[in-house]
Amino acid sequence: MNSVSNLPVFFLSIFLGFIGALTPGFAADNSESNSLIKVACVGDSITAGAGAPKGESYPDQLQQILGTGWKVQNFGRNGCTMLRNGDRPYWKDKNLQRAQDFKPNVVIIMLGTNDSKPQNWVHESEFASDYRDMVKIFQGLESKPRIYICHVPTVIEPNRYKISETNSVIIRQRIDGLATEMNLEVIPMDKAYGNELSVLKVDSACSFKNPAGPV
């Protein structure tokens, strides 16, 4: 398996394409205060960078590529779900409020991987409504951020965390539906490795360097 650190390169190439079209508007919005353009990365341990060396989570790498003028903040938390009724809902994590208090200009949401687990999938009918509500929270911020939602990465089954690719396919479809409904951009993280490689190995979960620890 190739180094998982390749994943941010794919991610950034897509994200920077989106941002390139938006940068003039951001510059105009921030010209008077000369403030940084702030990016809030919301997610589980794929965002947090569990198992990766210090400074190699995707938000860290995004900061390095965007450079000065941008402030990228990592609000990832291991094991979190989008579902309010999941076993570890992001809704109850302090990072949700911290992400709002950050007053971001850009929000990237990548949640849903842990929602595919059997104990959480019993609430799958609530996924789209919970996701919609979270997007609306960020849309309601005074900073009026541009919001990007991410497909959950592909997984290989079986894996010790019981993360389901079958359920992840459905989650991606629901994310696409929300993107259409709410006029949001989707970052296709499931295409990062084509059809051959996955964020999850058979015996371990994702980090951005050496797979380890829960998603």
- What is the chain written as a DSSP string? ---TTHHHHHHHHHHHHHHHHHHHHHHHHHTTTTPPEEEEEEESHHHHTTTSPTT-SHHHHHHHHH-TTEEEEEEE-TT-BSSTTSSSBGGGSHHHHHHHHT--SEEEEE--TGGGSHHHHTTGGGHHHHHHHHHHHHHTSTT--EEEEEPPPP--SS-TT---HHHHHHHHHHHHHHHHHHT-EEE-GGGTTTTT--SS-SS----SSS--S--
Which of the two residues, 15 and 100, has the higher pLDDT score?
100
Query: Predicted confidence band at 34 (pLDDT cuts at 50, 70, 90)?
Result: low
The domain made up of 6-22+37-191 is a member of CATH 3.40.50.360:
no
Give tens-digit pLDDT for 61-81: 889 888 899 999 999 999 999
* 11 CB neighbour count, 10 Å cutoff: 21
106-110, strands of its sheet edge to edge: 70-76, 37-43, 106-110, 146-150, 185-187
Q: Is residue 19 very low, low, confident or very high in pLDDT (cuts 50, 70, 90)? A: low
**pTM, two decimal places:** 0.84
Give percent of the chain above pLDDT 70.
73
C-alpha span between 202 and 160 (Å, rounded)? 8
Per-residue tokens: 94: 């302090």
Which whole number is the average pLDDT over 178-191?
A: 92
What mean pLDDT do residues 87-114 have?
97
- pLDDT: is 169 or 20 the higher one? 169
